[in-house]
Structure 1
């Protein structure tokens, strides 16, 4: 598993969008027993925190100690440093296992073998994520040019799985057909730039060129943002399955 986010852990915690409660409620509705849940690659703990309302105990694991230091502290959440493909848990321990916006970084074969080991036979496995947001037509053109052309060459190869809405990831489970969800926000310009700065390709560009690529679109995007509505829509990705 790659660690692309330790360096900007606090920004990630501040600017990454949350998943709506409606989507989490829907996911949890498929889980019969709500004793122990695990959120893998928990990052800032946003999904673990939402799950903690339903489960007696929630574990959140991540390979980044920096991310966990920015995670939401909650009484019934236990955060630990661990890799997705090689955890320290007992066999058949979890009623629910989630992975949000991270499965594309994993070694699929090793990861799914581990999920089969630690998920209870009647448990639920779920992949969550979100695709490229859309906004007003004028700002959309600027953002999409930034995404595809300016930082396009700096995306990791694994990003394609998100561009394909997680439909092309291996998914060796009995899949449950799910409803579709979207997330809607009204963002200030600071929130927009903050989010674009958390993109791994933005950080790769900075590392390689010693320049922030957002400087190339900053003024144009700011003018566009301030004269249009500041609404943002994220397509949400959700795949739910049971052990075969």
Structure 2
């Protein structure tokens, strides 16, 4: 993540407001896998969402991100320490953490250097967990409009790393001893306005906006509204499938 692509700083507040939350069951399961619950490192923490989720399960959580703007939107917690740092150079002490997590940021890393940093900061038997999620699922009609925005309109504006998210990180190296994990999902209940706000957090949308001076959501907003109204409700349930990779740091 050295020389990282800071695609989210300009919409840091919206990112904090509109992005979905990972399930508590994920954090609880991870806490059950580690040799001790003294410290966790959430790498690429963004606005601190995963760090705050880990906080009830660990004595200390170190949360690092290259973007000071993102960190400025993170909610404080007594046992969470936020700092500017990269995946490859965290600034953490050697053999200081029992768990390393990466939520929706792994595709930006310089992986070999990240692996070295993990081995430096991890205690014996520490667990590494990285996860991602791709498009949300609402209704078939809404999903079709969202896909039009995602692929047809914004396709050329996505960074190349986005492909790894679509593949659930299956194409990326993971240099730790894997073990099986349950299937986890995220769920939310959204209004139409929340969906529109969430779409505004896409990095490709921000890139399009800067190039053309026009919000690309305008190109689909009428179709999106019609698709929403077919459901006949103000609130719609939203689901995301998490792609989770977990492994243990071997001595």
TM-score normalised by the shorter chain: which range applies? over 0.9
Runs of 4+ in 1 over 4 A off after TM superposition: none
Structure 2 counterpart of 1:59, from 59, 62, 87: 62
Deviations 1:174-230 (Å, cap 9, x if unpaired)?
A: 001111111222210111011111011111111111111101001110121133162
User: Which residues of structure 1 form unaligned runs of 5+?
Assistant: none
Q: TM-score, normalised by structure 2?
A: 0.94
Structure 1: distance between partners of 2:24 and 2:67: 26
Shift of 1:94: 0.6
Q: 1:242: which partner in 2?
A: 248
Shift of 1:32: 2.1
Deviations 1:110-147 (Å, cap 9, x if unpaired)?
A: 11111111111211111022121111111111111111
Structure 2 counterpart of 1:171, from 166, 171, 174: 174
Structure 1 counterpart of 2:30, from 24, 27, 30: 27
Are residue 143 (structure 1) and residue 185 (structure 2) matched? no
Deviations 1:82-116 (Å, cap 9, x if unpaired)?
A: 11111212221110111100010111111111111
Structure 2 counterpart of 1:76, from 66, 76, 79: 79
Q: 1:107: which partner in 2?
A: 110
Structure 2: distance between partners of 1:186 and 1:49: 21
Could you say what secondary structure the match of 1:235 adopts?
Answer: strand
Are residue 223 (structure 1) and residue 226 (structure 2) matched? yes
Q: CA RMSD in A?
A: 1.1
Could you say what secondary structure the match of 1:29 adopts?
Answer: helix
Could you say what secondary structure the match of 2:9 adopts?
Answer: coil
Q: 1:45: which partner in 2?
A: 48
Structure 1: distance between partners of 2:27 and 2:149: 31
Shift of 1:60: 0.6
Q: 1:202: which partner in 2?
A: 205
Structure 1: distance between partners of 2:225 and 2:62: 40
Shift of 1:168: 1.5
